[in-house]
A and B are shown apart, each in its own frame.
Chain A
Amino acid sequence: MAKSAKSAPDAAQAVRIPVMQKVLDNPFLLLFLGVVIPTVLYIMWGLIELTQIPLAK
């Protein structure tokens, strides 16, 4: 945080990594989002609609 003249390793520890950067640095969290979102919004929602089509008599 503070841009004071700390010694290098100390400074590295003190830097607070922004939340968004943490998200982007976590490939498995991204993998989770990238699989769950389309599965729910595209595939499951779509399948639910298809199963509700009445059968022809």
Chain B
Amino acid sequence: MSVATAETGIIGGIAAKFRTCPATGLKIDLAAEKLIKANAVAAVVFLLIGGLFGLLVALTRWPAVHLLPSDWFYLVLTAHGLDVLLLWILFFEIAVLYFASAVLLSCRLATPRLAWLAFLLMIVGGLMTNVAVLQGESSVMFTSYVPMKAEPHFYLGLILFAVGALVGVMVFFGTLVIARDERTYEGSVPLVTFGAITAAIIAVFTIASGAIILIPTFLWSVGYISHIDTVMYKLIWWGMGHSSQQVNVAAHVAVWYAIIAITVGAKPLSEKVSRTAFFLYILFLQLASAHHLLVEPGLSAEWRIFNTSYALYLAVLGSLIHGMTVPGAIEAAQRKNGFNNGIFEWLRKAPWNNPAFAGMFLSLVMFGFLGGISGVVLGTEQINLILHNTIYVPGHFHATVVAGTTLAFMAITYLLLPLIFQRQVIWPKLAMIQPYLFGIGVAGISLFMMGAGTLGVSRRHWDITFSDATVTFDYPATAFLMMGLNGIFAIVASLGGILYILITVGTVFFGKKVDASNVVASLGPMPEKQVSGAVHEYGSAGTWHLPGTYILVSVFFLSFVLYYFVNWKYLSEVWPLS
């Protein structure tokens, strides 16, 4: 039984049913709400499947355990990348897009039927590719580089999934048009919606690149095309593979802004500055796809250096801006909330026992310190050489896409459950520790994979002892230690992941109903016992008095510079000149 009032709005001749959210006052289109639920549920199911595959991979790479035989290892590794990076993330992102458009703009969703078609295509495609992988003849890894050939339905599933996602993105753009025409907002869209627009734009380029390369590859696997050039494949594939990660960045930064607006009432420090940072993403982030081809022959130094150095640094500048304005917005809001003593009271007294806030902050810190810094190192043409294709790379992207994106999505789930699913989170105590548990686990796997990579351990390698190889190689003992520690922290991360899934599934089925009387309390501990309009209104905080943030940012820069130069030093030691 729905507690909130439902009303029918006839706008532009089309009937849509709305309810009014008791916490935010937003009008929520019930069709949009159902679609958000469906996409979020699908996301969580694939996170469960893909996360378990991840654990199996990590346990196999733990030399003392070495769980799976080699053929299973590569199969499970392929399934892991597919289910978490593609299915979990994209289903959740579609939910975020519908939320940031229809819900935040109090508008009806464009063409809910098409949105359901998109959902169906994504489900069918996702399942088809999973089946192909599990049948065992498509262990081509996530990147599916030609000339490795998977079964045709591996590619077909990916294509269907991508088409579905593209339709979802179009529904998002359509909803923006409706909101503007029906004047459901004034002036500019809220910043969170702007972040979602950024994500959606990058998604269009991502999906187009995917289609350009996967359709011929599908035809090749069926036998209609005889040859696909390997470097050309990599070039276009990474237009998708890299850009999709930038969809994630834009989406999770938008999610950060949403969470801090709801939990501490944070307004962006400056709408202008934050939007400019997103604009830098739109212009430059996708060019950095070239950093995956830094050791590929056939591409000129000009192409590489332009696309990685110049463009990549402009995009990184965008992230640096968000890296300062997000904590800055929290500081400004917390000082307004009365935590004005000293430099760090605002941070000490932040709602650390609210899983949405805690998860968001951990995501911010780990994305910046672990993922961001290592990303710049990997993206630098020269120092890339000492780390390319080592397990440092998965170390880096688990910091970005797991500690950053996944944790941010987990965090906002704790707000979506009461606001959209209208259920109170079961086990609030366990929910409180969940982001920490998952965060510690992921920090561990990122750091130890990076550590092992620095010692030269390869990625995607079943046996680092080379037990049955003709030419062998001895890694230092520390490398084995690192891979063991990686296994231990993988278990911790998995526990955090399982806890998240139990809590969300349990809440959807058994959580207490939320109504106007308990909705704000259901959002978890918050300094102000109300939801401010910050998440759906345009407007800046209007202060730059942020001593705590300036100190945090300085610490970040110092770490960044030191680590960057340490890697140049390593490089200089590779070819001694004496």
Contacts and interface: CB of A to CB of B under 8 A. Distances in A.
Interface residues of A, number: 24
B110 interface: no
A33 interface: yes
B205 A33 contact: no
A49 B197 CA distance: 32
B211 to A, nearest CB: 13
Nearest to A51: B232
Contacts of A2: none
Interface of B: 173, 176, 188-189, 194, 197-198, 201-202, 204-205, 208-209, 229, 231-232, 235-236, 239, 243, 272, 275-276, 279, 282-284, 286-287, 289-290, 293, 298-300, 303, 306-307, 311
Contacts of B204: 31, 34-35
Contacts of B231: 50
A46 B235 contact: yes
A43 interface: yes
Contacts of A35: 201, 204-205, 208
A9 interface: no
Contacts of A45: 303
B283 A50 contact: no
Contacts of B197: 27, 30
Contact of A41 (B202, B232, B307): B307
Contact of B300 (A28, A38, A39, A49): A49
Given A34-B202, A50-B298, A53-B298, A27 B311 contact: no
A47 B232 contact: yes
B286 to A, nearest CB: 4
Given A21-B188, A24-B279, A35-B201, A47 B235 contact: yes
A41 B209 contact: no
Given A25-B188, A31-B201, A42 B194 contact: no
| Residue with the highest number of chain B CB atoms closer than 10 Å, among A20, A27, A42 | A42
A33 B281 CA distance: 11
Nearest to B203: A34
A54 to B, nearest CB: 10
A2 B32 CA distance: 42
Contact of A37 (B208, B235, B287): B287
Given A24-B275, A43-B209, A38 B188 contact: no
Nearest to A24: B275
B210 to A, nearest CB: 12
A51 B111 CA distance: 42
A28 B188 CA distance: 14
Contacts of A23: 279
Contacts of B275: 24
A20 B307 CA distance: 25
Contacts of B290: 42, 46
A-B pairs, 9 with minimum CB distance: A38-B286, A34-B201, A34-B282, A46-B235, A53-B298, A31-B201, A35-B205, A27-B197, A42-B287
Contacts of A27: 173, 176, 197, 201
A23 B276 CA distance: 11
A8 B79 CA distance: 59
A25 B198 CA distance: 12
Nearest to B229: A50
Nearest to B289: A42
B299 A38 contact: no
Given A31-B204, A34-B202, A37-B286, 8 more contacts: A21-B272, A34-B204, A34-B282, A38-B287, A42-B289, A49-B300, A50-B232, A53-B298
B173 A31 contact: yes
Given A42-B307, A43-B239, A37 B173 contact: no
